[in-house]
Chains A and B, each alone.
Chain A
Amino acid sequence: MKLVTAIIKPFRLDDVRDALARIGIQGMTVTEVKGFGRQKGHTELYRGAEYVVDFLPKVKLEVAISEELVDQALEAISDAAKTGKIGDGKIFVYGIEQVIRIRTGETGPDAL
């Protein structure tokens, strides 16, 4: 079981969700985050005082999926989130030790 974490541009979220649904992934968690990689921020001006906005708004998407679907998921997310312009984001893959469905008590791959 793997946890796939993707940091993407916020306006790509709907397309990524649809792409994941098409390969059979139904559940995910989404957080609004700020960050930067190589994409620089921009400066704003407020009453004559300049300030740099380094951190850009992004969306963090987390999906717990079974081993077999990981490669498909990575491809689906990449294709849907990509714009070709700087700041498209990154995907991280972590191993999951245990998964539990709270309502039923199912564990392991049955809980995914």
Chain B
Amino acid sequence: MEDILNLRYALDTFYFLVMGAFVMWMAAGFTMLEAGLVRAKNTTEILTKNVALYAIACVMYMLVGYNLMYPGEAVNSFWPGLGFLLGSDHDPASVLSTSGADWYDGTYYSGRSDFFFQVVFVATAMSIVSGAVAERMKLWPFLVFCVVLTGFIYPIQGFWKWGGGFLDGLGFSDFAGSGVVHLTGATAALAGVILVGARKGKYRKDGKINALPGANLPLATLGTFILWMGWFGFNGGSELVVSNVGEANAVAAVFVNTNAAAAGGVVAALLAAKFILGRADLTMVLNGALAGLVAITAEPLTPSPLAATLIGAVGGAIVVLSVLGLDRLKIDDPVGAISVHGTVGIWGLLVVPVTNADAALSSQLIGAGVIFGFVFLASIATWGIIRGIGGLRVTEEDEYRGVDVAECGLEAYPEFTSGTK
């Protein structure tokens, strides 16, 4: 029996670690996607932001975030209590003393692997923000916000659901994080975009919207495919177990549904763009794939593959409308992050009860509302304080020169840009 338990523990730990590595790879996906959709003169800054935010997330979550989100003993269901650093992993002897029948109720995988899997999720949430505020935000204020989101804002709302807090108690359902990760990131992004303002020249006084095309669509496409593949870890790993027949089947279902939703999102975005705009805009199609993935993330297990495809497709259609709509509202989002992760994140949460009988629309609405409300207020306050101290936005002249030269002193494409446009 002990051999079997050893093997289960090892397999589930290994699975968790590999899935976590897939989600880490999504950091590369976001980086390439964003790099491709900003202009050449602003590319170095977004690359720097993405590498730095990943690192800051890892440090802050280890220092304080993880214990806020998963306290051993919470103070109450609203406030987890502060804890710092990571404790030691499970003692093999005490793990193996669990009886076989109760195995999955106990500690069935490494504690460190749990941290590893969770830390890459924080980084994902934070990376949603960098695209939305691109091309006009200063680098260091962004990184300061990063410290606050990854150390405190994300963990607290994460505690309310995944850490066993009051949202979990209300029956709010969010399998892999349409709300906890994607809506959170999008809401923080929205707050940032509102306070930093639109890019110069994006919206004309007569109401016309100007195009500011991205510099590298191959990178944007590569980034999307990387995210698509990484998402198998994001959703697949969130099943948390693979080491028995039932769970292995569940993981397989999650992989299939995740893929199907992305595919549905692509097709829907293709058709929506063609129908509404007259052309199949590649950047809308890329957003469509990601929208499908976000839409299924709240519940990738219970739908059938066909239902997953449709859920993703609705996400793909929504995202096209949302991108166009936010532009009408003069909310300038160069990569569509708020639409992909926010608008569709909410759709993902609300559609869960359709296939999952344990969820209810009312608790999904409460969850979405609480997450949005808390993250928005906390983010607006944080961005506002940062703006008051040192400002968020580069000067108009620096924006025209490009933030690569102005903030980073380094051009991304030195032979092809002149630093002025």
- A residues with a Cβ closer than 8 A to B are 44-51
Contact = CB atoms under 8 A, between A and B. Distances in A.
A49 B327 contact: yes
A51 B278 CA distance: 15
Contacts of B210: 49, 51
Nearest to A50: B211
B7 interface: no
A47 B323 contact: yes
Interface in B209-248: 209-213
B343 to A, nearest CB: 15
A58 B89 CA distance: 66
B209 A45 contact: no
Contact of A46 (B211, B276, B278): B211
Contacts of A49: 209-211, 327
13 contacts: A44-B213, A45-B211, A46-B212, A47-B211, A47-B284, A47-B336, A48-B209, A49-B209, A49-B210, A49-B211, A49-B327, A51-B210, A51-B211
The residue among A45, A47, A48, A51 with the most chain B CB atoms within 10 A of its own CB is: A47
Contacts of B276: 48
A13 to B, nearest CB: 21
A46 to B, nearest CB: 4
Nearest to A44: B211
The residue among B211, B212, B279, B336 with the most chain A CB atoms within 10 A of its own CB is: B211
Contact of B283 (A44, A46, A51): A46
Interface string B276-302: 111101011000000000000000000
B281 A46 contact: yes
B249 to A, nearest CB: 40
Interface in B289-335: 323-324, 327
Contacts of A45: 211, 277-279, 281
Q: Across the A-B interface, give the 3 residue pairs with the lowest CB-CB distance, nearest first.
A: A46-B211, A49-B211, A51-B211
Given A45-B278, A47-B281, 19 more contacts: A44-B213, A45-B279, A45-B281, A46-B211, A46-B212, A46-B213, A46-B283, A47-B211, A47-B323, A47-B324, A47-B336, A48-B209, A48-B281, A48-B323, A49-B209, A49-B211, A49-B327, A50-B211, A51-B211
